[in-house]
Structure 1
Amino acid sequence: MPRLAVPLTESQIRALEPRATRYCVADGNGLVIEIMTTGTKVWRFRYTLNGKRQPLATIGDYRMISLRVARAKAQKYAEIVAQGISPVATARRDRGAESKADVLREAAELYLATALAGKSDEYRRTTRRALDKDVLPAIGGKPINAVTADDIVDICERIKSRGSPKMALHTRNVVKRLYTYLMARRLATHNPADVVPARSIATFDSRTRVLSGDEIGSMLRAIDASSIRRPLKLALHLLVLTMVRKSDLVESRWAEFDLDNALWTIPAARLNTGGDRVVYLPRQAVSMLRELQRAKASRNFVFPSVRGDDRPIAKSTLNQAVKALGLEVEHFVLHDFRRTASTHLHEIAQRDDALDRSSALAAEGVSQADNAAQQRRLLQGWADFVDRQIQAARHAASGGA
């Protein structure tokens, strides 16, 4: 029986560094990974036959064989050994197949099993869907380095012909990230998606980008289900509800809030304007702020830096958090939240002139005292609309159950 070992993880394997002499690290069930002095990592199978320890059987190069696949092969060889047969011939045949299996389908499986291990469930799901639905059926059988830019264009054109230009662009981006990963592992010599311009697939005017209700719901549901820090989740949600600039939110101080009266007064000094700005808070925003207040990691800032030096998080923090999630919302930037809210509020408001007086993005000079009640009503209506989109996204993700 192979001796028991603590199972490895992909991150542990990636962290293994070469030494002056080659060495092995056990995963269990006879599976070991050998780290050569050159840095190359090779899967091996350790076994005993007829009471004698045998030379290690080679499974294959770590670059081409994921941990999951290596474990499956080790299990297969263990079953052969249990029959009193050496697995060497089988392993040799498998390696011959592996040497020919430098096709995109195998590479995609390796990418999904390793590079996406730490990503959110939503990110892995949308990536696998793009690969399984459009990419692999078309070019999955081609050698990794035989895939061309024309192949990527053809796939995107087929998707666009279904009336889905955004999905076509998303699929191109999935292939681009896949090949970036393969090039880093020296399995690919070029990135065929790199030379396919995004604008040739789908074009969006960044000054008019507005999220649909479905996109709002899917995005906030994915953010809530992600592993990013809770304060950052709340900050992103508050950006949607309050429609303030990102810098206004991340630099906000507790002294600016009157939660009992659902008011946030942003001082003129922070706005670089001639007067303060009052933001009327819907009940959902008040609830989130009270949660942050209970935690109160800083006496001054609502969103303090984790460094503990009593300063706010960097302005780029929220952008980095969204980027790390890999959300399936193309050509989106955080500023689009404000434009999105303004557009949807026009649909919620009964009269355009009422919106002009009531929107949180109203022009300077309009007296907020004259329309406070209407402003509160509209902002609460917007927050309720956002809640409905999130609930619809959750319902859809659960299969409508």
Structure 2
Amino acid sequence: MPLSATQVDKAKPQDKDYKLSDEKGLFLLVKPSGSKYWRLKYRFVGKERLLAIGVYPDVSLKDARAARDEARKLLAQGIDPSAEKQARKLASHQSAANSFEAVAREWLLVKMSDKSKTHQDRTRSALEKDLFPYLGSKPIADITPIELLSTLRRIERRGAIETAHRAKQTAGQVIRFAIATGRAERDISADLKGALKNPVETHFPAITDPADVGRLMLAIDGYNGTSIVKSALLLSPLLFCRPGELRQLEWAEVDFAQARIELPAEKMKMRQPHIIPLSKQALAVLDELKPLTGHGKYVFPSPRGASRPLSENGVRTALRAMGYDND
């Protein structure tokens, strides 16, 4: 006799497992803990087998019967329902493992590990902000050019033209990594050549007039801020290194005896060690700074704690205070 929804709902646990039979092999397995499981008993190639359908009340009596009927259709076609369920589960796992986000995060670990932390963080942030929300869950082999273009257009619409081009480049690198690892067949980003707006070429602001450079040097010399920030300002024109390299300079990299700074390859954009000769003026600035910050790791520690370097805003704010903005 078929079960009723009331019987299923009111089934109470006992000392041992017991079954409540419905019909056509479907039954409810009631555990001593009170948990209730739908199971289907069937025969395939002469052997008795069980198919796990789900847990009550997540799977209702009606849903369990529908799953049973679907399994019986497979049996009529000579297909084992349990094997079919395992195949679908495996396909689902493979799809998740081959999603754009899964492949991109693997690419970050494998191909970006030798890049600077700043570059890694910037790339990861761009993926998480602009690409994962729209492409992350899709199997990477199934993404179409129009889907990628639609995602890039979202970036473009907010006026971030260069960011859209960088996102396209990053997506292409991830897809090519998927091709190399057997999870995609071709780079669809190549189909989008010329599809995005051209970025407006702009030049970085710079002081090129010698008289203006002299006024800047005088302004730096007269700066009344902290000794750490002033030292960073004084060293910038003496060393001609990247701002990040200066801010993250460590005392272990300063060789007073050889009058030079030795930056390791992992800190450099080109992944090559770099040596910066120190003039007498630069050595004098470092000598004066040594008693203040020489006990820590960084030459220019953050005011928020010596365990991290001075932030980008430290020097930028000082320049603004002297009347030098981004223009």
TM over 0.5: no
Q: Which has the higher contact order (CA 8 A, sep 6+)?
A: 1
TM-score by length of 1: 0.32
